[in-house]
Chain A
Amino acid sequence: MVKNKGTTPLAFDEMINADSSPRQPYSTYHQWYASQDRNRLIAKSKEAENIFRKTGITFAVYGHADSSEKLIPFDLIPRIISGREWRRLAQGIEQRVIALNAFLDDIYHKQEIIRAGRIPRELIEKNDAFLPQMIGFRPPGGVYTHIVGTDIVRTGEDQFYVLEDNARTPSGVSYMLENRETMMQMFPELFHENRVRPVENYPYLLRQSLSSLAPPGCTGKPRVAVLTPGIYNSAFYEHAFLADMMGVELVEGSDLRVIDGKVKMRTTRGYEAIDVLYRRVDDDFLDPLTFRPDSALGIPGIMDVYRAGNITIANAPGTGISDDKAIYSYMPEIVEFYTGRKPLLENVPTWRCSEPQSLKYVLEHLEELVVKEVHGSGGYGMLVGPTANKRERAAFAEKLKERPGNYIAQPTLSLSTVPILVNKGIAPRHVDLRPYVLVSDKVQIIPGGLTRVALKEGSLVVNSSQGGGTKDTWVLED
């Protein structure tokens, strides 16, 4: 008999119904789990940790020493999504990703959405993520954001929200792949009993997708490379992993140079041209001649090569304007404007405090809202209403009234839970989901993704930097 201990009464649990029966997608797994010896599972859990450590799937805590390499905790109970649920999600994600690319093309060309009065001009033009260097330039194939990681949360049986559109350089896909690999190594029987859709071909699809968008000047087989900030970057493992799995070069800025209008890498035979660069370096650092002059991570002059149509950069510079927090609240309008249809996936309701009506509402409901700075990140300058005390709320209200345009507010969502393995059995923990999307002449959504899980009871923070873990994510064939 499996019991979920300490369930938050309000949260929707994806595995266990209120009457303690398993939800349908989990029924086969649940049966298997009930027949397992708990000590064996705990031993397997340690085994998984050893697999990750030996493989070197670590993220660096910034600083030098190798001893600071950390593991992201892996929980061996999978997060399972039915085929029906997935189809709905996938349609919504596809619609959103198409809209993102159309929006980017419009913003860097005619700006019709601004002329139509659907979003304010200053929101774009005063935004740091908007790159004037991209105005009037169309990347190969017209694709701006090639790789997208759409963050999704669930609050009920049919209630999904998009929390963030990561259209710049979304990370974490190596965990999706390694989690699956580890699960198949440890519990092969589960994959006989459940029909789980494969995610393993992601590197192949990524390479194919990148190659298909080679610049027009490229004849023959396109040469693809992954650009990493280097061995001390927190996601270096992932960069190396992807380059390895795709069978392409892993390069740093210092390996590359602009010669004769091409981006070339220093090889043992001399300089050789690169056609497609999957860069995991931020816009700011990409080209010291165009952006930050102090960047040692980039390639001086690469933007000229790019604009001359001699290299494809994925994702394109300037895509950040589409996943900015200030833009987020306009996503329903954006989706409708470019696809002509209502969004299939919901946005988290967002009050823009710049609008007097909204400001009034936010000030009246501070104790139930999360208020964020439009340009803030990493949880700074933010108020979590339900956990703040009266004085903190009052102080924040003053700041809000002073500069309302600087803030947005959202309700605190009750994220769904999936059980994790704990010493006494299983216990529910809040999760989110990041599926990965590849855009070329078509949109491909990998059936699965990265499930992040808050390991602390009751916590809603799933970030790995704050002690979050990950789970293998199954999409079933049905």
Chain B
Amino acid sequence: MLGRTANGLYWMFRYIERAENGARLIDAGLRMSLTRSASTEGDWDGVLQSAGVRELYDEVHDTLTSADAIDFLLRDRANPSSVMSCIEAGRHNARMVRTALTRETWEATNECWIEMRALLAKKARPADMPEIIDAIKRRAGLIRGAFHGTMLRNEIFNFSRIGTFIERADNTARILDVKYYVLLPAVSAVGSSMDNVQWESILRSVSAHRAYGWVYDAELRPANIADFLISNGRMPRSLAYCYEKIVSNLGYLAREYGERHAAHETAEQTLESLRNRSIDDIMDQGLHEYLEEFISHNNRLGQEITDGYRFYH
């Protein structure tokens, strides 16, 4: 396969993942503002940070309002990580690697772009938000479904999956990192309604607020939330789960190509540490430091994959 095609697949799936996660973040932000009586600008500040675009926002806007924040996250082309920018970039990559995709996967991606372009042509009214968020999730789900149902399990599949999980791990780590302080035992007054809202919003931004209750007690506890999102190998947006997938897909590539790269080593080490370190240990050592290091390792892994498999564009 061309290094350019592998690169295109990897980024196509990173962007689609990012678009979907962006929609979740907005959803969590909206939910938070519904459960509050006071001003909600502070919440949007956190959401913008989780999306990694807080500084960019300030370059475009003078003040932080929820309407501007939502528009910035949803459809502003000046924000390369806005949902619409991501869908456009994902579709652009898909068009470039069209020959590597099944017709179903391409059409699902193209139709996603067609629908979202129409739906996000104008600034969204608050009343339209549920429909829009729903449409993004549904479209992303259709792409995923077409992809899983029709693609051959070969190198094309592996590069796509690696893109998805590098992006997802990054997103989950960021969400946790922005809110890490509300998870610290010293700061949180256990059980206060303020904390509950914050905790729930973390779970909601990874669509895990229901699943949490199945695994842990119904009561929200910071250590459990951190454990769920970091170490729980059954939670599909946790760091451990993402790395299991990255390692297994890299493993298929190593077997098919008959060679290993630095990326294999890095990914396996990260997975080891995710499996072996207890959440208490992580919390004791410093959650923020841990997440910062994780994000930087995750970026390095992306670069090692790019180098090892000769990506270019």
Do chains A and B stick together as partners? yes
What is A's interface to B at a CB cutoff of 8 Å?
53-56, 66-67, 231, 236, 240-241, 243-244, 249-252, 254-255, 265-270
CB-contacts of B36-92 with A (<8 A): 88, 91-92
> Which chain B residues border A55 with CB–CB below 8 Å?
103, 107, 110
Q: Which residue of B lies closest to A246 (CB)?
A: B99
**Which one, B2, B88, B92, contacts A251 given CB within 8 A?**
B2
Q: Are A268 and B99 in contact (CB under 8 A)?
A: no
B1 at interface, CB cutoff 8 A = yes
Q: Which residue of A lies closest to B159 (CB)?
A: A268
Q: Which residue of A lies closest to B309 (CB)?
A: A268
A241 to B99, CA, bound (A): 7
Q: Which residue of A lies closest to B256 (CB)?
A: A269
> Which chain A residues border B297 with CB–CB below 8 Å?
none
B96 at interface, CB cutoff 8 A = yes
> Which chain A residues border B103 with CB–CB below 8 Å?
55
**Which one, A56, A241, A267, contacts B2 given CB within 8 A?**
A267
Q: Are A267 and B92 in contact (CB under 8 A)?
A: no
Contacts A265-B2, A266-B2, A266-B310; A56 near B95 (Cβ below 8 A)? yes
Q: Are A266 and B312 in contact (CB under 8 A)?
A: yes
Q: A55-B110, A250-B99, A267-B3 are in contact. List 4 more A-B contacts (CB 8 A).
A: A56-B107, A231-B95, A254-B4, A268-B257
> Which chain A residues border B110 with CB–CB below 8 Å?
54-56
Distance from A67 Cβ to chain B, minimum over Cβ atoms (Å): 8
Contacts A267-B3, A267-B310, A269-B257; A54 near B96 (Cβ below 8 A)? no
A56 to B114, CA, bound (A): 10
Interface of B: prevailing SS: helix
Q: Which residue of A lies closest to B6 (CB)?
A: A268
> Which chain A residues border B88 with CB–CB below 8 Å?
66
Binary flags per residue of B290-313, CB closer than 8 Å to A gives 1, else 0: 000000000000000000011110
A55 to B1, CA, bound (A): 24
A9 to B312, CA, bound (A): 60
> Which chain A residues border B98 with CB–CB below 8 Å?
56, 240-241, 244, 250
> Which chain A residues border B1 with CB–CB below 8 Å?
267-268
Q: Are A266 and B3 in contact (CB under 8 A)?
A: yes
Q: Are A240 and B99 in contact (CB under 8 A)?
A: yes
B200 at interface, CB cutoff 8 A = no
Residue among A56, A240, A265 facing the most chain B CB atoms (10 A cut-off)? A56
Q: Are B2 and A255 in contact (CB under 8 A)?
A: yes
Closest A-B pairs by Cβ, 8 of them: A240-B98, A244-B99, A268-B309, A243-B99, A250-B99, A268-B6, A266-B3, A56-B110
> Which chain A residues border B257 with CB–CB below 8 Å?
268-269
Q: Are B4 and A266 in contact (CB under 8 A)?
A: yes
A347 to B106, CA, bound (A): 43
> Which chain B residues border A66 with CB–CB below 8 Å?
88, 91-92
Contacts A55-B107, A244-B98, A249-B99; A268 near B114 (Cβ below 8 A)? no
A67 to B92, CA, bound (A): 12
Distance from B16 Cβ to chain A, minimum over Cβ atoms (Å): 16
Q: Are B114 and A54 in contact (CB under 8 A)?
A: yes
A236 to B96, CA, bound (A): 9
A249 to B103, CA, bound (A): 16
Q: Are A56 and B106 in contact (CB under 8 A)?
A: yes
> Which chain A residues border B107 with CB–CB below 8 Å?
54-56
> Which chain B residues border A67 with CB–CB below 8 Å?
117
B268 at interface, CB cutoff 8 A = no
Q: Are A268 and B310 in contact (CB under 8 A)?
A: yes
> Which chain B residues border A251 with CB–CB below 8 Å?
2
Distance from A469 Cβ to chain B, minimum over Cβ atoms (Å): 21
A241 to B106, CA, bound (A): 12
Q: Which residue of B lies closest to A242 (CB)?
A: B99
Q: Which residue of A lies closest to B259 (CB)?
A: A269
Distance from A276 Cβ to chain B, minimum over Cβ atoms (Å): 16
Distance from A178 Cβ to chain B, minimum over Cβ atoms (Å): 11
A53 to B111, CA, bound (A): 9
Distance from A250 Cβ to chain B, minimum over Cβ atoms (Å): 5
Binary flags per residue of B115-159, CB closer than 8 Å to A gives 1, else 0: 001000000000000000000000000000000000000010001
A236 to B97, CA, bound (A): 12
A35 to B312, CA, bound (A): 57
Q: Are A54 and B3 in contact (CB under 8 A)?
A: no
> Which chain B residues border A255 with CB–CB below 8 Å?
2, 4
Sample of 10 A–B contacts (CB below 8 Å): A53-B114, A54-B110, A56-B98, A66-B88, A231-B92, A231-B95, A240-B95, A244-B98, A249-B99, A254-B4
A56 to B98, CA, bound (A): 10
